[in-house]
Structure 1
Amino acid sequence: MISIKELRKEFTVNDKKIVAVDNLTLDIEKGEIFGVIGYSGAGKSTFIRLLNGLEQPTSGEVFVNDKKFSHMKGESLRIARQKVSMIFQHFNLLWSRTVEENIEFPLEIAGVPKKERKQRVHHLIELVGLKGREKSYPSQLSGGQKQRVGIARALANEPDVLLGDEATSALDPETTDAILDLLVDINERLGITIVLITHEMHVIQKICHRVAVMEDGKIVETGKVLDVFQNPQETITKRFVSQLTGVEDTLPTLETIFQHYPNGSLIQLTFVGQTTEEPVLTELIRNFQVTASVVHGNMNQTKDGPYGTLIVHIDGETKQIHDALQYLQSIDVKAEVLNNGSTNNE
């Protein structure tokens, strides 16, 4: 569906060259919800503008549905971009137009006949849950309703790809979840490929099939969301994962915990899928003659299944602790020994 090869974008600011996207290669499959996450300045927004042709690359190629978007110009680019739509952080609605007129606007530009426009707008209003608000103006809508208008407008030309640039970051948590649920529904009903640019790990966790982590214009890590959660490789990825697990908030207290339990081991356990439902600590205590105290715990649900973490203090004989850790690995529970705020793979 989307193939990106050695993509690079340079800007010159005050005679200084800035590389916003640096040799980026990535493939996004048809019909998946793909997340790109990174902190401010990572190059995410430039990347998404390269995807829909708003920016042209310094070098490299972008293919969407076997069409080469990179370096496409004029009328051919305008027509191609009708199949790659955007939803925006701040909605970008026309304030002098009603809900239905906003949704109809791209159809007018595309020259769609009036009768067909009206039919499609009616269908889209139903799809995004705005029935009864057709004649309302943006100033009369909540933030979530405005974004629903933005989504309906983006779908007006029946695109193959829907791009979201921080599409939920201006919304409260409850509204964010409602919009994310709507995007999942659209993805499943229409089979549309969705690419979400975000700095919020919750967005990735809730609806994405795969994720790419951006830093300094590069993709530093990519994979299935559950795999990345279970085994993050890069420091920045670990920081994002810790936003959900809460481990980062717990680590400063580890030195204090070790002062109270100098002879034990503090273990971070990672559970995925079925193991989240297993009585793991009960088995440790029963079979290995150790004591186990939970210091911190968290459970999250991803698109592909549950993911949980526990920080546990385990005390007992050295051999018993070693055997307990071997048992955890045998049942696919990842165990890391924490030592004064740092981690070492066991």
Structure 2
Amino acid sequence: MIELRNITKVYKTKNGELTAVDNVSLSIEKGEIYGIIGYSGAGKSTMIRLLNGLEKPTTGSVLVNREEISAISGGKLRAARHKISMIFQHFNLLWSRTVEENIAFPLEIAGMSKQERTKRVAELIDLVGLTGRGKAYPSQLSGGQKQRVGIARALANNPEVLLCDEATSALDPETTDSILELLLDINKRLGLTIVLITHEMHVIRKICHRVAVMEAGKVVETGKVLDVFQNPQAPITKRFVSQVSGTNETKESIEQILENYPSGKLVKVTFVGQATEQPIISHLIKEYGVDVNIVHGTISYTTSGPYGTLIVHIDGTEEQVQTVLHVLAKHELQTEVIEHA
């Protein structure tokens, strides 16, 4: 659906050349929710402008639905953009227009008749959960309601791709979750391809199927969200994952934990999918005669299934502990001995 081939974008500044995107290649499948995550300055905003044709790459090509956006201009580019819509961090609504009028605006530009516009706007208001708010002005809406208007307006012309530029960054956590659930519902109902640009790993975990991690203009890691959460490779990816997995505090207090457990091993165990629901720890205690103490644990949920991490202290003979580690591996659980006590 979307393909970036060896994209580089260089800006000329008074201080010399600035490489915002550095030789990036990505493939985004039709109907998936794809996340691009990075901190400020990583190149995310430039990426989204390349995807909708607002910027041309210095080298490389951008294809959307087999059409090379990076190689067309004028009327052809405008026609291509009708199939690529966008929602923004700060909503970008027309404050002098009502909810209905904001949603109808792109339909007016497209030349749709008033009767057809009225019908389409009513459908979209219902789709985004704003029934009864059609006559309200943006100033009368909450942040979440404003973003719902932005989503409805973006869907007006039946796009094939929806680009979300930090679309939940200005919202509180509860409202963020409601907007993400709406996007997930729209993706399932309409089969819409969604590209999310964000610096929040919670957003990626909540609804994305795959993710690309950016740093200094480069994509440093890609993969299925569950795989990336289970086994992050790049240091920056590990930082993002730790934000939502709750492992930072535990690592910082390792020395204190070890003081409380003078023998045995401290082991990090990662559970994925159905393994999160299995009573494996109690089985180990009963079957192998070891003492297992759960020091820290979390379970998180992604669109591909749940995953969990436990940091456990296993106490027993060296042979017993090695047997337990072998059994955990047989259950396809990842184990990492953090430190010898």
State the shift of 1:51 in Å. Answer: 0.2
Corresponding residue for 1:134?
A: 134
SS at match of 2:70: coil
Corresponding residue for 1:181?
A: 181
SS at match of 2:253: helix
How far apart, CA to CA, are the structure 2 residues paired with 1:133 and 1:11? 43
Corresponding residue for 1:41?
A: 41
Q: Does 1:50 align with 2:50?
A: yes
Q: Does 1:303 align with 2:278?
A: no
Q: Does 1:64 align with 2:64?
A: yes
Q: Does 1:255 align with 2:255?
A: yes
Corresponding residue for 1:220?
A: 220
How far apart, CA to CA, are the structure 2 residues paired with 1:178 and 1:34? 18
State the shift of 1:218 in Å. Answer: 1.3
Does the Cα contact within 8 Å between 1:95 and 1:137 map onto a contact in 2? Answer: yes
How far apart, CA to CA, are the structure 1 residues paired with 2:234 and 2:5? 22
Write out the 4+ residue segments of structure 1 that deviate beyond 3 Å after TM superposition. none
How far apart, CA to CA, are the structure 1 residues paired with 2:320 and 2:236? 34
SS at match of 2:270: strand
TM-score relative to the length of structure 1: 0.96
Deviation string 1:180-210 (CA, Å, 9 cap, x unpaired) is 1111111111111001011111111111111
Q: Does 1:29 align with 2:29?
A: yes
Paired letter, 1:4 = L
SS at match of 2:213: strand
Matches within 5 A, 1:120-131: 120-131=120-131
How far apart, CA to CA, are the structure 2 residues paired with 1:6 and 1:88? 26
Q: Does 1:150 align with 2:150?
A: yes
Structure 2 alignment gaps of length 5 or more: none
Corresponding residue for 1:229?
A: 229
State the shift of 1:29 in Å. Answer: 0.4
How many aligned positions are there? Answer: 340
State the shift of 1:259 in Å. Answer: 2.3
Q: Does 1:283 align with 2:292?
A: no
Deviation string 1:280-312 (CA, Å, 9 cap, x unpaired) is 111221222221111111111110111111111
SS at match of 1:184: helix
Deviation string 1:150-172 (CA, Å, 9 cap, x unpaired) is 00000011100000011011111
Q: Does 1:324 align with 2:324?
A: yes
State the shift of 1:141 in Å. Answer: 0.2
SS at match of 1:300: strand
How far apart, CA to CA, are the structure 1 residues paired with 2:174 and 2:239? 24
Q: Does 1:315 align with 2:330?
A: no
The alignment yields a C-alpha RMSD, in angstroms, of: 1.1
State the shift of 1:125 in Å. Answer: 0.7
SS at match of 2:85: strand
TM-score relative to the length of structure 2: 0.97
